[in-house]
Amino acid sequence: MTDPLPRRHSTPPRPERRYPDQLYSGWGDPAQAVQLPPAILDLLAKGLGVKTPGHTAPALQDIPVPESRLNQTAARTRIEQLIGAEHVTTTPVARIRHLRGKSTPDLLKLRDGDATDAPDAVVLPGTHGEVQQLLELCSEERIAVTPFGGGTSVVGGLTPQAAQFAAAIALDVRRLNALRALDDESRTATLEPGLRCPEAEELLNARGYTIGHFPQSYEYLTLGGAAAARSSGQASAGYGRFDERVVAIKVATPRGTIELGRAPKSAAGPDLRQLFLGSEGAFGVITELMLEVKPVPAARVYDGWRFESFAAGAEALRALIQDGPVPTVLRLSDEAETALNLARPSEIGAGTARGCLAIVGYEGTAENVAERRERVTEILNDVGARLDAAAGQGWSEGRYRGPYLRDALLDAGALVETLETVTFWSNLRPLYDAVGDALRQSLTEQGTPPVVLCHISHVYPSGASLYFTVAAAQANDPLGQWATAKRAASDAIVNMGGSITHHHGIGIDHREHYAQQVGPLAIGALRAVKAELDPAGIMNPGVLIP
């Protein structure tokens, strides 16, 4: 039966927001910042040649921001009349907090005090109707609009090219944060896009359900952002990607409202939901999502398994995902990442973390977890892997800490960034080698030889993703340094037949390589869709579509 929460209920369940605003020049909660131990600082100096600390970020209030183009304008008055003046702000602090995402280039620019492309205002609508009318108003006034959720983009998805517009706003969806409906019989939940993942879990867990979406950005990612960028969580082997859980959406566009999803699957023409899943705000704003949900698992167990080599571990993961039993979490670090990232703290820098570490997790009923774990244990023992249960628990406890470590390494003077791709199993090793070689060659030629780490983060019967982490000493121009290396890696991905992204999205950073990947005819089709839904081109201009 459907929970008595009508879609237009006056007081639908909403969470209490507990997470603080993110550090403007780094990731997450400032109170959770990481301090690097002397052993790591020594490794940076001896292994990568890191000698000088990175830029110290200026105080937020000291960063100069261009004068808002909306100040003292009739357009601002219209927006305030529509949304309420208390939900429209042009303060420098608010504009900086809605400037860019959390990629290393984004942070380096902010640490240099560069806020030149800050939005002219931050606007917080509270209903679908307000979003719809706001987009129509902005289309009339030629005001660029960037939908803003948790601000976690790492591909330039929050950096629109808006100079040719009269102004630019960040449309913050945080007030759209309700659980609208729950259908127990169908096991679906209708939620608003401004809910952060922990908030959505809080609302659903209280009713016995989970979405099962736990990416590394979990603490700050919003549901709308997860849909718009085709997010994939760390438990994707068991729960699937986020876009696979979306069965219906409601979207506000500058031309009107679109509602899609009358059934889980349909033969009624192409699945138009897919136009908006992954569209990154280029066509409109997702204002409501219906998601498939699952019962909260009674048991959760995470094991670590040691393999002699990355090839041996990858073969074991392929066998499990293709032939079963399928764990809920299934990921594998290569030799370098095992030694430096996922080893026990006592092993860091000691050279004792050998081979490759896989994390194998199970969630579900106690009986189901026990059965799958027993069978997987037999299979992995048979191929010579060694159980390391403590490593699995350690990964579970620190699974959201990676971005904090990135910030500390930037502080120390290292250049640290990530990129990811996906391909078929038969092409996995060639792609792994090509991307790693491109990164090492590019950065070495710039005088900053790197360490390149990689893990298989998501697996499918036909293929898997590769997630690379790169660390080197910062050059005099770290932005240009990384741009050169990223271009070399992206060229290798496209040339080797991989996808330019698996779950980070396109944004602006991947836009040109995306065009190479799909070809001019496909890009023309996307441009035609944008012209129909957004004729003035105000929606996140420059993002996704060249």
Cα 264 from chain centroid (whole Å): 25
Percent of the chain as helix, strand, coil, to the nearest 5 = 40, 20, 40
Are the CB atoms for 463 and 474 separated by under 8 Å? no
According to the model, what pLDDT value does residue 6 have?
42
Residue of 24, 362, 404, 467 with catalytic role? 467
According to the model, what pLDDT value does residue 11 have?
67
Average pLDDT estimate for 206-213: 97
Query: From CA 155, how far away is CA 509, in angstroms rounded?
Result: 5
| The CATH number of domain 299-399, selected from 3.20.20.140, 3.30.1360.20, 3.30.70.3450, 3.40.50.20 | 3.30.70.3450
Average pLDDT estimate for 374-384: 98
How would residue 316 be classed by pLDDT, with cut points 50, 70 and 90? very high
Q: Indicate if the pLDDT at residue 342 is higher than 70.
A: no
According to the model, what pLDDT value does residue 81 have?
98
According to the model, what pLDDT value does residue 446 have?
98
The verdict on whether 220 is a catalytic residue reads no
Q: Indicate if the pLDDT at residue 444 is higher than 80.
A: yes
79-121 per-position pLDDT tens digit: 999 999 999 999 999 999 999 999 999 999 999 999 999 999 9
Average pLDDT estimate for 155-170: 96
Cα 91 from chain centroid (whole Å): 27
According to the model, what pLDDT value does residue 35 have?
87
Identity at 129, one-letter amino acid code:
G
Query: From CA 391, how far away is CA 223, in angstroms rounded?
Result: 30
Residues 6+ apart with CB under 8 A from 324: none
How would residue 14 be classed by pLDDT, with cut points 50, 70 and 90? confident
How would residue 4 be classed by pLDDT, with cut points 50, 70 and 90? very low
Q: Indicate if the pLDDT at residue 7 is higher than 60.
A: no
> What percentage of the chain has pLDDT greater than the value 90?
87
The 3 state secondary structure assigned to 315-335 is HHHHHHHHHCCCCCEEEEECH
Concatenate the DSSP letters of all residues of 339-388 into one string. Answer: HHTSS-GGGTTTT---SEEEEEEEEE-HHHHHHHHHHHHHHHHHTT-EE-
Q: Indicate if the pLDDT at residue 515 is higher than 80.
A: yes
| The CATH number of domain 179-295, selected from 3.30.390.30, 2.40.50.140, 3.30.465.10, 3.20.20.70 | 3.30.465.10
Q: Indicate if the pLDDT at residue 345 is higher than 60.
A: no
How far is residue 476 from each of residues 53, 54, 107, 405, measured CA to CA in Å? Answer: 12, 10, 16, 22
According to the model, what pLDDT value does residue 424 have?
98
According to the model, what pLDDT value does residue 353 have?
62
The CATH architecture assigned to 403-509 reads 2-Layer Sandwich (3.30)
| Domain spans, the chain | 179-295, 299-399, 403-509
According to the model, what pLDDT value does residue 3 have?
52
Burial-class residue 384 by CB neighbours within 10 Å (0-12, 13-18, 19+).
exposed
Cα 506 from chain centroid (whole Å): 11
Residues 6+ apart with CB under 8 A from 333: 341, 342, 356, 357, 358, 453, 454, 455
Instruction: Tell me what the pLDDT averaged over the chain comes to.
Output: 94
Residue 172's nearest CA partner among 96, 87, 79, 60 is 87
How would residue 350 be classed by pLDDT, with cut points 50, 70 and 90? very low
Q: Which residue has the higher pLDDT, 175 or 10?
A: 175
Q: Indicate if the pLDDT at residue 43 is higher than 90.
A: no
Q: Indicate if the pLDDT at residue 170 is higher than 60.
A: yes
According to the model, what pLDDT value does residue 349 have?
47
